[in-house]
Amino acid sequence: MKAYKLKKEYLKEYLKSLEDFGEVWGPIKKKDIDVYEKISDYSLLNLNALRPILPLKKFLIPPKFNTFFYTKDGKYENALKDIKKRIIFGVHPCEIHALLVLDRLYKERYPDYYYLTHRKSTLIIAFSCVPDDKCFARSLNTHFVEEGFDLGFTDLDEYYLVWVGSSEGDDLLRHRLDLFEEKITSKDLNHYIEWRKWRDNQYQLNLDLTAMPDIMELSYDLEVWNEIGEKCLSCGTCSMVCPTCTCFNIVDHLGIDNEPGRRERFWDSCMLKIFALVAGGFNFREKRADRVKLWYTHKLKAFITEFGKPACVGCGRCIANCPVNINVLEITKILKGEEIKK
Amino acid sequence: MSENLYEPIPMRIVRRYDLIENVRFFQVRPVEIEKALTINYKPGQFMMVSLFGVSEAPFSISSSPSRPGLLEFGIRKIGVLTEQLFKLKENEIIHIRGPYGNGFPIEKMYEYNLIIIAGGLGAVPLRSLLLYALDNRDLFKKIYFLYGARRPNEMLFLREFLELKEREDLECLLTVDKDDTGTWTEKIGVVTELFRYLKDIDPQKTYAAVCGPPVMYRFVIDKLVNLQIPKHQILMTLERRMRCGMGKCGHCVIGSIYTCVDGPVFTYWDVLHMKDLI
């Protein structure tokens, strides 16, 4: 993979120039919360943002969108309009790992038209990060990426090392080749090696998923799930913020007042009570404990069976956002009988 | 642009009538007649049926691919979508996409005896398998069709099944829990009581397919296990909430599997080693 250098003072100018390709989005702090936003003022870009509250999935499967309009002559008409090219800046390695999982889920076996359409219009500029006390990507080997981005920025103090990850990424870079430096010296190399060593050692949290599929299986009937279920509020926040949660619902709306009718697809969560309810009123997961158990079974067992890796990338969003502190670290600790900090 | 697999195709209702109270038979065909022969499916698969402005839901296919061109469903009026479906008449249009699901492992069942056991509405998907086997009679050994309903007026496809009794190449056994008409000429009792009519069956060379209300499974499976039919040759088809049919929306997930893609047909062994299936 070819790499270039970009002086830090050129970052904003460079990003602004990418508007020639499409909308430029990146993390911006709103009140106390980081969100991916379309950037109009590049000085608002929060380069220290670790986990924008809604992850990258919001660009690929919008939280709510119309899939079809019903026309008067009785046809389903594609409601998805051309999507403007979007360049998402500031995406950390763990989120790109989540993206790679979603790519498999949505591109293989019954390719999902809506995902593919959004995906094709989205360019990813990765950005290196220094973990905080909620990150645990290193223990899942998702703290570093070698694919899944178009350009990748590594912050090496006085400059960025910029990796070219795709042909389209190469176009982005060549657009302002004048800002980049092509020569990588042995000093740069040493600098990078030092940085990697230092940065990879900043992780404070560790998640050991060894034997997790077996542990999920063996713990299945244990009382502990009821205790967790008692604590859970069934609010679905974990599903909204988790970068690999993409369950959805589809609902039809009748057109009112000459508007066309529409079919809408929107994020759903298996934590919500009616998720498994069928016509006639039978609910396959009426109990909260069963829903929490399914959520974690799907992350820590089902995905390993299906894709060879868990659906947790160590981003820390469940740790940061669950109102009652149920998260992947706590759950694995409880199941393994390890001590829980109060 | 890639193909949009969520886009349903228009189908015309060519025939509909009530099978029993609140369960209606719908026979449909693609509005574009050239498409009629391109719809390939397997017994045990399902379709997503759409109504404008109402919703979309999965329904078992009741017809057999051995009789191509027309799709048949047996639909119970039970929710918002089905209530609207019941208002439609012949010639009106509904939208359908599919087929989805694994269906019955038909090829594996060739050269085997078949015991098909239905309870109530379970006759809808199993009729597909039954018709397929009868239309390809030489591919199977003995065929037994055991069907139980609560009362005579709750038995689906009654006339069709009574006619099957005249055939000598299958054993069609019908039973009701209770006869409140006084005119019922078939068996009385629960469906498991029909097992005593199964004679000289080599269990190793037998597949059983079961579909019915949840209470039925345990008793029927006990009987089949007693007959020493291998667990992986006992098949059942399950129901779950579904929104996509393609292993994406997550509603039908059970543990590590998607009912819509890995099912809806499962073996008794699946049920034993994967939790929460039934």
Q: Which two tokens stand for residue A66?
A: 């119309």
- Percent residues over pLDDT 70 in chain B: 99
Q: Provide the pLDDT confidence category of residue A280 given band limits of 50, 70 and 90.
A: confident
pLDDT value at residue B52: 83
Distance of alpha carbon A217 from alpha carbon A335, whole angstroms: 11
Q: Provide the pLDDT confidence category of residue A254 given band limits of 50, 70 and 90.
A: confident
Cα three-residue angle B277-B245-A286, rounded to 5 degrees = 40
> Residues A172, A124: contact at Cβ < 8 Å?
no
Distance of alpha carbon B226 from alpha carbon B254, whole angstroms: 28
DSSP B116-154: EEEEGGGHHHHHHHHHHHHHTGGG-S-EEEEEEESSGGG
- Percent residues over pLDDT 70 in chain A: 99
Q: Provide the pLDDT confidence category of residue A340 given band limits of 50, 70 and 90.
A: low
Number of Cα atoms under 13 Å in the Cβ half of residue A139 = 17
pLDDT value at residue B189: 94
Report pLDDT digits (tens) over B171-229. 999 999 999 888 999 999 999 999 999 988 999 999 999 999 888 999 999 999 999 99
User: Which one, of A69, A98, A83, lies nearest residue A311 by Cα?
Assistant: A98
> Residues B110, B139: contact at Cβ < 8 Å?
yes
pLDDT value at residue A71: 77
Distance of alpha carbon B208 from alpha carbon A49, whole angstroms: 58
pLDDT value at residue A72: 72
> Residues A20, A87: contact at Cβ < 8 Å?
no
Determine, for residues B256 and A117 on separate chains, whether the beta-carbon distance falls below 8 Å: no
* Whether the predicted pLDDT of B21 surpasses 80: yes
Residues 6+ apart with CB under 8 A from B265: B44, B101, B102, B103, B104, B105, B235, B236, B237
* Whether the predicted pLDDT of A75 surpasses 90: no
pLDDT value at residue B270: 92
**B 42-71 near A (Cβ less than 8 A):** 50-57
Distance of alpha carbon B5 from alpha carbon A165, whole angstroms: 30
* Whether the predicted pLDDT of A332 surpasses 80: yes
Distance of alpha carbon A155 from alpha carbon A6, whole angstroms: 10
* Whether the predicted pLDDT of A74 surpasses 80: no
Query: What number is the average pLDDT over the span A27-35?
Result: 94
> Residues A275, B251: contact at Cβ < 8 Å?
yes
pLDDT value at residue A342: 45
Determine, for residues B79 and A248 on separate chains, whether the beta-carbon distance falls below 8 Å: no
For residue B57, give how far its alpha carbon lies from the nearest alpha carbon of chain A (Å): 9
> Residues A18, A174: contact at Cβ < 8 Å?
no
Q: Which residues of chain B does A112 touch, with a Cβ-Cβ cutoff of 8 Å?
A: 5, 246, 248
pLDDT value at residue A273: 87
Q: Provide the pLDDT confidence category of residue B2 given band limits of 50, 70 and 90.
A: low
Q: Provide the pLDDT confidence category of residue A260 given band limits of 50, 70 and 90.
A: confident
Determine, for residues A74 and B93 on separate chains, whether the beta-carbon distance falls below 8 Å: yes
Query: What number is the average pLDDT over the span A62-70?
Result: 93
Beta strand pairing call for A122-127 and A151-156: parallel
Query: What number is the average pLDDT over the span B34-38?
Result: 89
> Residues B24, B160: contact at Cβ < 8 Å?
no
For A104, the closest chain B residue by CA position comes to B248
Distance of alpha carbon A306 from alpha carbon A218, whole angstroms: 19
Q: How far are the Cα atoms of A300, A341, B123, B145, B255 from residue A304, in angstroms, in the given order?
A: 7, 28, 37, 41, 12
Determine, for residues A294 and B255 on separate chains, whether the beta-carbon distance falls below 8 Å: yes
Residue A341 has phi, psi (to 5 degrees) of: -75, 140
Q: Provide the pLDDT confidence category of residue A257 given band limits of 50, 70 and 90.
A: confident
Is A330 part of the contact surface with chain B (CB cutoff 8 Å)? Answer: no
Distance of alpha carbon B182 from alpha carbon B197, whole angstroms: 23
Distance of alpha carbon A62 from alpha carbon A36, whole angstroms: 13
Report pLDDT digits (tens) over B71-113. 999 999 998 999 999 999 999 999 999 999 999 999 999 999 9
Query: What number is the average pLDDT over the span A247-258?
Result: 86
Is B262 part of the contact surface with chain A (CB cutoff 8 Å)? Answer: no
User: Which one, of B196, B183, B186, lies nearest residue B144 by Cα?
Assistant: B196
Count the neighbouring beta carbons within 10 Å of the beta carbon of residue A229.
Answer: 17
Q: A67, A68, A71: which to substitute to probe chain B, counting the most B Cβ within 10 Å?
A: A68
Q: Which residues of chain B does A247 touch, with a Cβ-Cβ cutoff of 8 Å?
A: 249-251
For B59, the closest chain A residue by CA position comes to A279
DSSP A45: B
Q: Provide the pLDDT confidence category of residue A179 given band limits of 50, 70 and 90.
A: very high
Q: Provide the pLDDT confidence category of residue A276 given band limits of 50, 70 and 90.
A: confident
- Name which of A49-53, A68-72, A149-153 the model is least confident about: A68-72
> Residues A7, A159: contact at Cβ < 8 Å?
yes
Bigger pLDDT: B28 vs A340: B28
pLDDT value at residue A339: 61
Average pLDDT, chain B: 94
User: Which one, of B159, B162, B141, B152, lies nearest residue B17 by Cα?
Assistant: B159
Q: Which residues of chain A does B93 touch, with a Cβ-Cβ cutoff of 8 Å?
A: 74
DSSP A300-329: IIIHHHHHSS-S-----HHHHH-TT---HH
Determine, for residues A284 and B241 on separate chains, whether the beta-carbon distance falls below 8 Å: yes
Nearest by CB to B53, which of A246, A248, A252? A252
Nearest by CB to A254, which of B2, B53, B57? B53
* Whether the predicted pLDDT of A341 surpasses 60: no
Nearest by CB to B240, which of A70, A251, A276? A276
Distance of alpha carbon B98 from alpha carbon B56, whole angstroms: 12
Q: Provide the pLDDT confidence category of residue B124 given band limits of 50, 70 and 90.
A: very high
ipTM given for this complex: 0.89
Determine, for residues A106 and B243 on separate chains, whether the beta-carbon distance falls below 8 Å: no
Q: B3, B5, B6: which to substitute to probe chain A, counting the most A Cβ within 10 Å?
A: B6
pLDDT value at residue A259: 77
Report pLDDT digits (tens) over A90-142. 999 999 999 999 999 999 999 999 999 999 999 999 999 999 999 999 999 99
